[in-house]
Structure 1
Amino acid sequence: MYRTFARRHASTKIAAAVLALAATGAYAANNTSNVRHASAAHADSTTTQLPRGVTPSHYALSLTPDAQASSFMAKVAITVTVSAPTSSITVNALELTFAGASIEGVGGMQQASKIDIDADKQTATLHFAKPLAKGQYTLAIDYSGKIGSQATGLFSLDYDTPEGRKRALYTQFENSDARSVIPSWDEPDYKATFALDVTVPSNQMAVGNMPITSSVDAGNGKKRVSFATTPRMSTYLLFFGLGEFERATANSDGTEIGVITKKGALAQGRFALDESAALLREYNDYFGVRFPLPKLDNIAAPGRSQFFGAMENWGAVFTFEYSLLLDPAISTQADKENIYVTLAHEMAHQWFGDLVTMRWWDDLWLNEGFASWMESRATERMHPEWNTALSAVGGREAAMARDALVTTHPVVQRIATVEQASQAFDTITYQKGEAVIRMLEAYVGADTWRTAVRSYMKKHAYGNTVSNDLWREVDAAAGKPVSAIAHDFTLQPGVPLIRVDSAVCKAGNTTVKLTQGEFTKDRDGKKALTWRVPVIAQTVGSSKLARALVENGKATMQVPGCGPLLVNAGQSGYYRTVYAPALASGLAASFAQLPAIDQLGVLANSQSLGMAGLQNPSDFLDMVKATPLSADPQVWGKVASVLGALHEQYADGSAEKPARQRAFDAWAVSRLAPVLAQTGWQARDGEASSVATLRTQLISTLSSLDDAAVIAEARRRYAARSTDPAALPAPLRRTILGVVAQHADSAMWDQLHAEAQAEKTPLIRNQLYDLLASSDDAALAKRALALALTDEPGVTNSPAMISRVAHTHPELAFDFALAHLEQVNARIDASSRSRYFPRLAAASAQAAMIDKLEAYSQAHLAQGARGDADTAKADIAYRIKVRTQRLPAIDAWLAKQAG
């Protein structure tokens, strides 16, 4: 699944068999002595929330949806094996109404004598008067259910067309929502085959995981469509879609690749279709196992979710339009790259996740961390002109930012409830998982790593695994115990801190002494955990690398050459580096000579150490001051991002900017405005794609810094759009509108609102409603919040608008959502609320918000569903700490610059 980070959950309380070992983020971080032991103890066991003894092997599902009535009728025949005599069978079921059930096999057929529903546990128990002996049976269930309006279970999405409003149906089952459509063993380890047939309107296209085998007239304007039987797979990968669709296809390595869109949008899917075909060939080669299904569709859907952008259903990838379709009228270079990354991520899942699936949600990173790593690898390899290798630093930094807080958790974590499983789709699972893989690949070598991955795929195809299954293959391929390092980074939380204590050059080599601690942002004096840390270092200007493994807290390494020392050269390591003062000064002085990826890493490292109090916070600004105009566009993008974040740190919620913030903003503008002047507002023929992306970053950041020149130019272009077609070029359209909306007055807000109401293209319409929620003006933000609770924006835009207001006005958005709790809850699926509400508050820097979040948690969240709320509180506390303890040093530095 491709997650959008803010993004997922609350209030279904399911007791796990292992509840006593369940760990919240705070538990995991504060009880690290137990984490490794507990994780290792359960690594080779299988968790289940259902009684053992009955196992499914095949589902034959007949589904008849009624889109207008938001309901469906269904029948399912499940082939099961009873391994121990029983008089009842328990399945997962959520909001299903049962008409009856029977079982046929050993001893003949009998009807279920009673069906007990447990709404809290999300189960249905079918009782039989005559006990079932060991053997194989067919369990037949007749039932009905609901079609929702949010992207969970079987749901509908409405969209406008020139012919009027249309409705399409889709499914989203990860992590635990197949049970709302099919009574099932809705856990990843219960793999089975699926045969789906649907009775649907004759004029609509039905889509499933497999190709259609037959379509026959069913009368009354309906047809019955049957799909081929799937391979063995987990329930959460089952897919069904229905609507007025179009499909384009291509052949790649013997597989039919398809893109499916609503009618009229198919041309916008051409980029995705072409790139999918190339990606399939690349993945077939890398994994050493060919894609095993006869077809692979990418299905584009209007609307959006706050919590994910795409889902890897086997052979039928679901993706919201903004992450799949390239619209020449509005799409940017960044959009194109994001579409590619989403494709690469979901297609990687067809192997890591679909063919080989984690046994239980504890090892979710085996799906998501690997798909994230593979998306990056594929993008670097297939589109080197985008220079996306540098983006790996950003992903690692996002993981470290979370991992350095008390509320972090191990990559492999204990999952006990549906809500905890949903909350596991986070930065640690995705970005830290990817960073650890990148580090281990660099440690053993790319060829060795691929050998291990290929062996893992072949050995576990169609099965379920735990992390140790992978580590065994890596150890075997590498010929050394890589698993020991892997366990250190996946079975305990946190970020290693490598201290460079000394570096002495003699006879052309530099002897470096390293010690290992732990980097934390909110636990001064914490006793450091220990890791075995692979370290790569070099002297600036030398092409020769030195490698060492820091064990038992220390290491000495010989680095070829003499000169400034760079530790974590190439940025593959997952650790922070703090240098002795003289070494730090030498590295800073040679900053301009570093490769771009190391400039990014050094900038990020310096900024994080400064904010955590491990060095002067202004050291980062010295590097920014020394960054030449000729630096890589992605380096300037990082500078713009951090300066924008510091601008937000100064904000105190008042209508007028504090004087401190004005001083910082003026200096930040003085650094970024010359870069924009060099880049220009107009794209140049042959410019690098990273320049196009930087242009939008600079305009947006300078807008946030209240740069009068940027605001005036954006307004001029917006005013001239009707007479000058070049005023709003597609690559800048959204960015320019964003500046106009951010600084809108009431009249301009009304004008944008009118445009949103009139717009019929879903992608553009969604953008306009998002813009209405992006104003700096609190009064206009309140109008956007009120609008979000009407039917006008659409049910998937409403929660997005509230979230967008929260970016700038977190207190306002959170208070509004709580004051309208019932209405907001109606627009968010129930299992997502424990993530949604805390994330509205996460950008706050007010101590009172911590108390509000605690009160919300106590009132609305189960004890095991408070991970996102705890993380939001930790983020707020750290932001307050930065404001009070770090910004004064930046103020002093700025005063010196002015003097």
Structure 2
Amino acid sequence: MHRHLISAAVLALVGFSCAPVFANSAVTSTPQTQTTTQLPRTVSPTHYALSLTPNAAAATFSANIKISINVLKPTSSITLNASDLAFQQVLLSSAHGKAALKASKISVNAEEETATFHFAHPIAKGSYTLDIAYTGVIGTQANGLFSVDYDTAAGHKRAIYTQFENSDARRLIPSWDEPAYKATFALEVTVPSTQMAVSNMPITSKTDLPDGRSVINFGMTPKMSTYLLFFGLGDFERATDSIDGTEVGVITQKGSLSQAAFPLAASKAILHEYNDYFGVRFPLPKLDNVAAPGSSQFFSAMENWGAIFTFEHGMLLDPSISTQGDKEVSFIIVAHEMAHQWFGDLVTMRWWDDLWLNEGFASWMENRMTERLHPEWNTKLGVVDVHESAMGLDSLSTTHPIVQRIDTVEQASQAFDEITYSKGESVIHMLEGYVGSDAWRDGVRIYMKAHAYSNTTSDDFWHSIEKATNKPISEIAHDFTLQPGIPMIKMGEVSCANGTTSVNLTQAEFSRDHLDKKSLTWHVPVTAQVLGAAPAQTLVADGKGTIQLAGCGPVLINAGQTGYFRTLYTPTQFAALAANFATITPIDQLGLMSDAWSLGLAGLQPMSDFLDLANVTPLTADPQIWNRIANTYSSIHQAYQADPLRQQQFDKFAIARLTPVMAKISWNAHADDTSAIINLRQQLISTLSQLNDPATINEANRRYAAPASDPTAFPVELRKVIMSVIALHADAATWEKLHAAAQTEKSAMMKDQLFYLIATSKDPALATRALEIAISDEPGATNSAGMISVVAHLHPDLAFDFAIAHLAQVEKLVDASSRSRYLPRVASGSAEPAMVDKLNAYANAHLTPSALGSTKTAIASINYHIKVRSQRLPAIDAWLAAHK
């Protein structure tokens, strides 16, 4: 599942940065020896044969499923997972030809999402077939079997899809809906003949019926977990190609197939690379990417084996609006989900405790593959952003280990966070650097071959890496995966003699909100170098270490930024690095800035250090350095929101600093623009707009009004960012025009974006109008919650209060298993003390104790924002006063 949540994706489209979404609280975890299950261990499935008849118009379905099972212990009842299903009949038959035994009683536990079939006579050990007739509902949110309504030039349409991760297969099929209960699946569907049906495997037969329907059978899947089953139905088109004996395809709504050329080509290239890297060929005959209208608050894509599901805004490229950034997002989503075809699908974590075995590795592979196949995008600098994404959550007292204890469905849902994804990726990147990329790949190949079609824990993977490398990395890996938090490497005494520099290092722990906590200890691989000399590596263990470096001069810690830790320099060493900042490699410039900013916010380093680095950054610096500076200026602007006068003073400075950069790259594209320049242009326009720069706002307005007389004023690459400026600063009349455009737009993708745009207004009255529209039928059921989240970026208190006042309506817009994290996320951007009480009141009234992780983290974030406002902004005020 891809972590780019709709709120983050939308804010990127309209030019806003988005804080990380946080989840579960800290839990001490240890490796498991027995598979966790919430079901009795008396029965296990081996095969599901599902016959499904959906009725999209009525939002219902009927089904019959025959499940081949093994009864492991004598029992008089069978319990499996089921949610919102109504059972008509349950029969149990043996392989010996005896008469089928009818369930004497069916009991459903809605809270535990189980159904129990009781039988009048005990069932002996052996093999049986469970034959179940039942009905269910087609929902409007992206979980279980759900529908998406959308408009086209040909009229209103409805498509249906499935989304099962983490625990929603039970909404379509009564099943052992846990990852360790792997089985094969055969799907038969009865559907309208005019529509396209798609599943994990190719169609093996199609029989037309007299009533305009067809019975379609798909091939039997390999052994896999329930959450990977997929079914889609609608007015679709499919583009195909092939590579290494596998047919690859992209499936879109009719009329959108021309937008699929890039992801199809990407799929072909990526599959070939993965076949080689993993050492195991993709085992299915076809691999589709299915693009759907709509959105979700909690995911943008899902790795169903052989039938990846992606919301079209994340994959398709519309030539009238798509940007370079959209192309890069499309590629990394495809790369991420295709990596899951091995990490997650072929080899699956045993239980949700080890979810990172899926998500951390897919995130790591997406960036590895992007760097390999598109080096011109220069994405290798993105490793620093990945670290920052994880550290935003990991530095709060409510963090949790990568491997965490999961007991409930809600906890599993909350586990899809930046610790699982970004910290998991960061640890992999660090360990690969420690053992070497070739040896790491060899370990991955050993792991894949040893555990194909089965389930694993993290230790299974570490053993494979150790087998390939002969290096005992488990100790390092356990420190970083079984403990929460971030090591902080503190530079001590530095001495140079005979051309060799010796540096003493100590290890503490970095925290933003618990500075007095006793530090944990890690085995930390540290790479360092004297500027301009060769790097060296050491392992800091038991809280201390020493490293010997070639040459004499300023010392850079975490050279290459492979390590997952913060670096605290002595003032003298930091000053020496700052004096040589322009000569440092871009990736280490980013790392130095990121550490200075975060340590400054935490009170461990002067706030002025980051501001000084940004102030000496030359115009010729890598575009991604300026992108980081612009993003940070935007964050500072937001922190001043409660004090308009001080905010204006900062904005004046930031505008003056960024304007020369904007003038250098200009609004107009040039033939030699790199992708980084193209992305920076949009970032600068967006940031200067947020800083209320009159020149930027006026130019955006001019270009927005100019297409009739000057088509070149509104180029494709700038349309989204220009529209974001217009929407942010819209008056009532302009806002109404945008709203009207959203209502009449026939392109589903553009319609969705317009509704999100009207939610970005900085005017509280217009933001309230957007909230009212969000709970209406206008945006579409899967987009409404996203609109509320977009409003919350600038108006978190307004959005939260509105959601609480309309709680019954809002809860219908969010899938049930994710509600416990939705409203805390809406509130998490607040810096008002009253919000803490509001969140606690909501949690006490509506959440169970096991579902409080997101609330606790949101409260920690709010308290941190309050601290920044009161304790850190004065230091920025002082720096500004000294630099007038």
Give yes or no for TM over 0.5: yes
Q: Deviations over 1:206-246 (max 9, x none)?
A: 00000000000122110000000000000000000000110
Report how far residue 789 of structure 1 moved.
Answer: 1.5
Q: Secondary structure at the match of 1:881?
A: helix
Matched-pair contact (CA < 8 Å) for 1:488–1:531? yes
Q: Deviations over 1:452-509 (max 9, x none)?
A: 0000000000000000000101112221210100000000100000000121111111
Describe the SS at the equivalent of 2:663.
helix
Aligned to 1:560: 550
Letter in 1 for 2:637: H
What is the TM-score with the length of structure 1 in the denominator? 0.96
Aligned ranges 1:164-203 → 2 under 5 Å: 164-203=155-194
| Equivalent in 699, 722, 725 of residue 711 of structure 2 | 725
Give the direction of change, closer, same or farther, for the CA distance of 1:201–1:758 in structure 2 (3 Å limit). Answer: same
In structure 2, distance between residues paired with 1:285 and 1:93: 40
The amino acid of 2:115's aligned partner reads A
Q: 1:402 aligns with which of 393, 407, 410?
A: 393
Say whether residues 1:829 and 2:815 are aligned partners.
yes
2:542 partner amino acid: N
Q: Which residue of 2 aligns with 1:854?
A: 840
Aligned position for 2:777: 791
Deviation at 1:792, TM superposition (A): 1.4
Alignment-derived partner of residue 619 in structure 2? 629
Residue 694 of structure 2: aligned partner: 708
Aligned to 1:87: 76
Partner of 1:226: 217
Q: Indicate yes or no: 2:634 matched with 1:665.
A: no
Kindly indicate whether residue 771 of structure 2 is the aligned counterpart of residue 771 of structure 1: no
2: CA distance, partners of 1:406 / 1:757: 44
TM-score (norm 2): 0.97
| Structure 2 residue identity aligned to 1:98 | F
1:69 has 2:55 as partner: no
Deviation digits for residues 775-819 of structure 1, max 9, x if unmatched? 010111111111111111211221111111100000000000000
| Paired position in structure 1 for 2:4 | 4
- Name stretches of at least 5 consecutive residues in structure 1 with no aligned partner: 9-23, 29-34
* Residue correspondence of structure 1 range 503-652 to structure 2 within 5 A: 503-542=494-533, 544-652=534-642
Q: Which residue is 1:754 aligned to?
A: 740
Distance in 2 between residues matched to 1:795 and 1:295, nearest whole Å? 31
User: What's the offset of the Cα at 1:317?
Assistant: 0.2
Residues 199 and 218, structure 1, Cα contact 8 Å, conserved in 2: no
Are the counterparts in 1 of residues 5 and 296 from structure 2 also a CA contact under 8 Å? no
Q: 1:455 & 1:486 partners in 2: Cα distance?
A: 18
- The amino acid that maps onto 2:801 is D
Query: Is the contact between residue 150 and residue 829 of structure 1 (CA under 8 Å) also seen in structure 2?
Result: yes
Take 1:788 and 1:822, find their aligned partners in 2: how far apart are those partners? 13
Alpha-carbon distance in structure 1 between the residues aligned to 2:796 and 2:608: 27
Deviation at 1:720, TM superposition (A): 1.1
Q: How far did residue 27 of structure 1 move? A: 4.7
Give the drift of 1:6: 7.4
8 Å Cα contact 2:662-2:681 kept in structure 1: yes
Question: Per-residue displacement from partner, 1:588-638 (whole Å, max 9, x unpaired)?
Answer: 111111111101111101000100001111110000001000000111101
Counterpart Cα distance in 2 of 1:662 and 1:235: 54
Partner of 2:131: 140
What SS does structure 2 have at the residue aligned with 1:63?
Answer: strand
Tell me which residue corresponds to 2:793.
Answer: 807
Give the aligned partner of residue 114 of structure 2. Answer: 123
Secondary structure in 2 matching 1:859 = helix
Match of 2:282 in 1: 291
Please show how residues 369-408 of structure 1 align to structure 2 within 5 Å: 369-408=360-399
* Corresponding residue for residue 51 of structure 1: 40
Residue 141 (structure 2) aligns with:
150
Give 1:722 shift. Answer: 2.7
SS of 1:155's partner is: strand
C-alpha distance in 1 between matches for 2:253 and 2:706: 33
1:489 match: 480
The aligned residue for residue 231 of structure 2 is: 240
Letter of the structure 2 residue corresponding to residue 206 of structure 1: A
1:332 aligns with 2:323: yes
Unaligned runs of 5+ in 2: 9-22
| RMSD of aligned Cα (Å) | 1.1
Partners of 2:610 and 2:26 in 1: how far apart?
33
Deviation of the 1:723 alpha carbon: 2.7
Deviations 1:557-580 (A, max 9, x none): 101111111000000000000011
Identity of matched residues, %: 60
Q: Give the corresponding residue for 1:32.
A: none
Whole-angstrom CA distance in 1 between matches of 2:609 and 2:76:
70
Equivalent residues, number: 868
CA distance in 2, matches of 1:144, 1:219: 24
Residues 102 and 112 in structure 1, CA contact (< 8 A), matched pair in contact too: yes
Per-residue deviation, residues 845-889 of structure 1 (Å, max 9, x unmatched): 001101111111111111111111111110110111111111111
Q: Residue in 1 aligned with 2:200?
A: 209
- Distance in 2, matches of 1:840 and 1:529, equals 32
Aligned partner of 2:454 in structure 1 is 463
1:728 Cα deviation from its structure 2 partner? 1.4
Asked if structure 2 preserves the Cα contact closer than 8 Å seen for 1:814 and 1:840, the reply is yes
Residue 253, structure 1, aligned to residue 244, structure 2: yes
- d(CA) in 1 for partners of 2:7, 2:520: 30
Would you say the 8 A contact 1:7–1:835 is kept in 2?
no
CA distance in 2, matches of 1:784, 1:532: 50
Residue 113 of structure 1: how far off its partner (Å): 0.6
Selected match of 1:689 from 664, 668, 675: 675
Task: Decide whether the 8 Å contact of 1:5 with 1:427 is kept in 2.
Answer: no
Q: Distance in 2 between matches of 1:870 and 1:219?
A: 58
Contact 1:363 1:413 in 2 (8 A): yes
1:44 Cα shift?
A: 2.2
Letter of the aligned partner of 2:625 in structure 1? Answer: V
What secondary structure sits across from 1:712 in the alignment?
helix
For 2:346 and 2:24, how far apart are their aligned partners in 1?
30
Displacement, 1:721?
Answer: 2.4
Counterpart Cα distance in 2 of 1:609 and 1:3: 26
- Matched-pair contact (CA < 8 Å) for 2:24–2:415: no
The one of 404, 415, 426 equivalent to 2:406 is 415
Aligned partner of 2:336 in structure 1 is 345
2:268 counterpart (272, 277, 280):
277
The amino acid that maps onto 1:75 is N
Q: Return the offset for 1:767.
A: 0.9
Separation in structure 1 between the aligned mates of residue 542 and residue 515 of structure 2, nearest angstrom: 22
- Secondary structure at the aligned position of 1:813 is classed as helix
Structure 1 consecutive aligned stretches of length 4 or more whose deviation exceeds 3 Å: 5-8, 24-27
Instruction: Letter of the 2:431 partner, please give it.
Output: L
Q: Residues of 1 paired with 2:520 and 2:210: CA distance?
A: 68
Structure 1 window deviating more from structure 2 (835-844 vs 407-416): it is: 835-844
Q: Which amino acid aligns with 2:593?
A: L
| C-alpha distance in 2 between matches for 1:219 and 1:465 | 48
- Per the TM alignment, residue 75 of structure 1 is displaced from its structure 2 partner at its CA by 0.2
Deviation at 1:5, TM superposition (A): 4.4
SS of structure 2 residue aligned to 1:886: helix
Verify the 8 A CA contact 1:385 1:689 in the aligned structure 2.
yes
Note if contact 1:95-1:146 (Cα within 8 Å) is conserved in structure 2.
yes
Say whether the 8 Å CA contact 1:259–1:273 is kept in structure 2: yes
Question: Quick check: 2:48–2:66 contact (8 Å CA) kept in 1?
Answer: yes
Three-state SS of the structure 2 residue aligned to 1:121 is: coil
